């Protein structure tokens, strides 16, 4: 079922590209309805995918050739059309339908809900201008989720314009004042890496130039709090095809990647791939960052470090002057996805190095700042205490101890350390690039409006 939804999205995206519409101004709506239908012997899952709005202007359903439809859904069976009321609600928002495709699958399972939801969420992250409405009805229960991006950011080189969802979904700390927390993120565009196409893929008809473009996004953004301790807990790798549609399925290459990364160079203690269960529901590949054991109790930070996660987008790019028919372009994307493991393994060293570099560059500035503050704090405290300890001026010593309400220099040391950490950690430096907003209450979320499954 995911493949069919994938194909529809590819179709719309590639059609948009062919019409040479820039991704920047293309917005619209996507409706995905999934419902069960009980047949004579087995429960089937029906799916309707509808699109409306500027992003699919020019699509003429009547002109859609039957063989193209065949190409998109070679394995799917036709099904009944969806509830017109559902479609009405959609068209009320986005205008008349430009695309409506339906198909049916045998072997319905409620697990499809989570998988489709994850897929659509992943799609939404890299296509932030498209509002997605997902409804899954299984037996008597309904799950519904609307993906509407609050904060978008453009990230793209010459070849491709990307509109990413950079909304930060982390609650700001309680002590943060109004208007002093960045609710978005700042994607960092990496270098483009050309890839060589392995012979097996070429035999299947994959030619042209293939490359990957990496983009990293650290969340939440703490640029305005340069002294705040942070702790990277997760790294998520999402892979997208040339049409910006996510590649489905777990990737063995990325699962095994941590073993080949130099974590020390990146500034991490260690990385390991998260469990299969996490993979299915999180989209892409997720790594858990190993945390350093804190031997020194004084080093255990107060305030507690801000937990951050890093999103690593891998965008596949392909160009072939001999591929211009829509069906050929869609077939090429299918080929790329099918041979993706082979392609990545064929370029293992280069891809590993590229990922290493992107992670290092993204974390470098933050790590350097933390290191600088930490080492400077040690010098400040050491120097101050050295003078207090070695002074023969009792008035001076007593004034220092009295000021901090301490009885001896040992207690003074701990007290000064804690105080320095406290006063420097929450230093706020406003940044124009940040999406600071009123932090009265946490802003409206696009979390699912769940009617329980």
Partner 1 sequence: MSLMGSSVAELFSAIDKLRAELLNNVEVLTDCQRVEGEISHGEILSLIENVILGIVTSLSKDEAPFLALPDRSNWANISFDSAIGLRMTLGSSVTTIRSDCPSSVTKFAQILKIFVVIYKLVQSNSYATKRFFVVNSHFEKITKLATSKGLISGDLCYMEEDGTRIDCRSCSAAAAVSSNIAGIRNIVSHAKFIMIVEKDATFQRLLDDDFCTKLSPCIMITGKGVPDVNSRLMVRKLWDTLHIPILALVDADPHGIEIMCIYKYGSVSMSFEAHSLTVPSVMWLGLLPSDLQRLRVPEDVLIPLTKRDESKLSSLLKRPYLASQPEWQKEMELMQQSKVKAEIQSLAAIAPDFLTNIYLPNKLRYGGWV
Dist. CA 410–CA 381, nearest whole Å: 12
- Given the complex with partner 1, which of 209 and 298 has the nearer CB atom? 298
Residue placing its CB nearer to partner 1 in the complex, 180 or 400 = 400
Residues 6+ apart with CB under 8 A from 6: 119, 245, 246, 248
Q: Of the two residues 234 and 369, which places its CB atom closer to partner 1 in the complex?
A: 369
- What region does 50 belong to: left with phi over 0, alpha with psi -120 to 50, or beta? beta
Stretch that binds partner 1, among 190-198, 247-255, 269-277, 416-424 (CB under 8 A): 416-424
The count of chain residues that interact with partner 1, using the rule CB under 8 A, is: 33
Token digits for 90? 């959609």
- Min CB(403)–partner 1 separation in Å: 4
Q: Which is nearer to partner 1, 36 or 366 (CB)?
A: 366
**Nearest-approach distance from CB 433 to partner 1, in angstroms:** 17
Which helix (H) or strand (E) segment holds residue 56: the answer is none
Give the phi and the psi of residue 163 in degrees, each rounded to 5. Answer: -110, 110
CB of 377 to partner 1, least distance (A): 8
Give exposure, 113-126, as e/b (b: 16+ Cβ within 10 Å): bebbbbbbbbbbbb
Minimum CB separation from partner 1 for residue 406, in Å? 10
| Residue 423 CB neighbour total at 10 angstroms | 10
Shortest Cβ 82–partner 1 spacing (Å): 56
Give the rounded distance of the alpha carbon of 176 from its chain centre.
Answer: 25
Task: Identify residues 305-324 at the interface with partner 1 (CB under 8 A).
Answer: none
* Residue 32 to residue 7: CA distance in whole angstroms: 13
Rounded to the nearest whole angstrom, what is the least distance from the CB of residue 182 to partner 1 in the complex? 17
In the complex, least distance from residue 308 CB atom to partner 1, rounded to whole angstroms: 18
CB of 375 to partner 1, least distance (A): 8
Half-sphere exposure for 297 (CA within 13 Å, toward CB): 1
Q: Which of 112, 134, 108 is nearest to 121 (CA)?
A: 134
Q: Select from 272, 338, 422, 450 the one that contacts partner 1 (CB under 8 A).
A: 422
Nearer to partner 1, 171 or 407 (CB): 407
Binding residues for partner 1 restricted to 348-407, rule: CB under 8 A = 369, 372-373, 375-377, 379-380, 382-384, 386-388, 390-391, 393, 396, 399-400, 403-405
For partner 1, which is the closer residue by CB, 63 or 394? 394
Instruction: Answer positive or negative: Cα dihedral of 276, 279, 284, 287.
Output: negative
Q: Which is nearer to partner 1, 280 or 401 (CB)?
A: 401
Binding mask 208-247 for partner 1 (x = CB under 8 A): ------------------xx--------------------
Q: Tokens standing for 34?
A: 């999934």
Interaction between residue 176 and partner 1 (CB under 8 A): no
Q: Which is nearer to partner 1, 106 or 402 (CB)?
A: 402
Out of 429, 430, 442, 453, point to the residue binding partner 1 (CB under 8 A): 429
Q: Is the Cβ–Cβ distance between 4 and 116 less than 8 Å? A: no
Q: For partner 1, give the closer residue by CB, 129 or 186.
A: 186
Q: Order of strands across the sheet with 141-147?
A: 97-105, 43-52, 28-38, 130-138, 141-147, 449-450
Q: What are the residues whose beta carbons fall under 8 Å from the beta carbon of 415, sequence distance 6 or more?
A: 404, 405, 406
Contacting residues toward partner 1, per CB under 8 A: 226-227, 369, 372-373, 375-377, 379-380, 382-384, 386-388, 390-391, 393, 396, 399-400, 403-405, 416, 419-420, 422-424, 427, 429
């Amino acid at each position: 079922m995911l493949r069919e939804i994938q194909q529809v999205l590819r179709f719309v995206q590639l059609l948009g590209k062919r019409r040479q519409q820039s991704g920047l101004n293309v917005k619209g709506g996507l409706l995905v309805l999934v419902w069960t239908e009980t047949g004579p012997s087995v429960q089937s899952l029906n799916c309707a995918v509808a699109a409306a709005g500027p992003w699919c202007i020019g699509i003429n359903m009547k002109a859609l050739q039957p063989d193209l439809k065949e190409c998109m859904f070679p394995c799917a069976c036709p099904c009944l059309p969806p509830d017109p009321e559902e479609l009405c609600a959609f068209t009320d928002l986005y205008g008349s339908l430009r695309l409506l495709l339906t198909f049916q699958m045998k072997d319905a399972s409620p697990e499809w809900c989570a998988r489709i939801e994850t897929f659509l969420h992943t799609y939404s992250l890299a296509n932030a201008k498209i509002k997605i409405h997902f409804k899954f009805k299984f037996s008597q229960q309904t799950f519904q989720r609307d993906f509407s991006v609050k904060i978008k950011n453009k990230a793209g080189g010459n070849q491709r314009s990307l509109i990413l969802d950079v909304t930060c979904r982390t609650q700001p700390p309680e002590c943060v004042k109004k208007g002093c927390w960045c609710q978005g993120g700042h994607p960092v565009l990496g270098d483009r890496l050309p890839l060589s196409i392995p012979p097996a893929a070429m035999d299947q008809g994959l030619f042209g130039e293939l490359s990957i473009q990496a983009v990293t996004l650290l969340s939440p953004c703490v640029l305005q709090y340069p002294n705040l301790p942070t702790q990277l807990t997760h790294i998520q790798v999402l892979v997208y095809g040339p049409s910006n549609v996510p590649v489905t399925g777990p990737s063995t290459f990325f699962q095994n990647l941590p073993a080949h990364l130099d974590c020390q160079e990146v500034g991490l203690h260690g990385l390991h791939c998260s469990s299969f269960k996490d993979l299915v529901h999180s989209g892409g590949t997720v790594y858990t960052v190993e945390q350093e054991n804190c031997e020194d109790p004084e080093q255990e930070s107060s305030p507690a470090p801000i937990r951050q996660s890093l999103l690593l987008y891998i965008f596949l790019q392909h160009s072939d002057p001999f591929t211009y028919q829509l069906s050929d372009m869609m077939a090429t994307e299918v080929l790329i996805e099918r041979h993706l493991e082979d392609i990545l393994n064929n370029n293992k060293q280069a891809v590993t190095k590229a990922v290493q570099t992107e992670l290092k560059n993204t974390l470098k500035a933050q790590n350097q700042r933390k290191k600088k503050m930490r080492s400077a704090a040690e010098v400040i405290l050491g120097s101050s205490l050295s003078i207090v300890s070695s002074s023969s001026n009792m008035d001076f010593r007593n004034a220092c101890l009295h000021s901090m309400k301490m009885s001896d220099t040992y207690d003074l040391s701990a007290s000064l350390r804690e105080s320095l950490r406290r006063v420097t950690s929450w230093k706020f430096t406003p940044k124009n690039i940040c999406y600071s907003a009123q932090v009265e209450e946490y802003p409206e979320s696009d979390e699912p409006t769940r009617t329980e499954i």
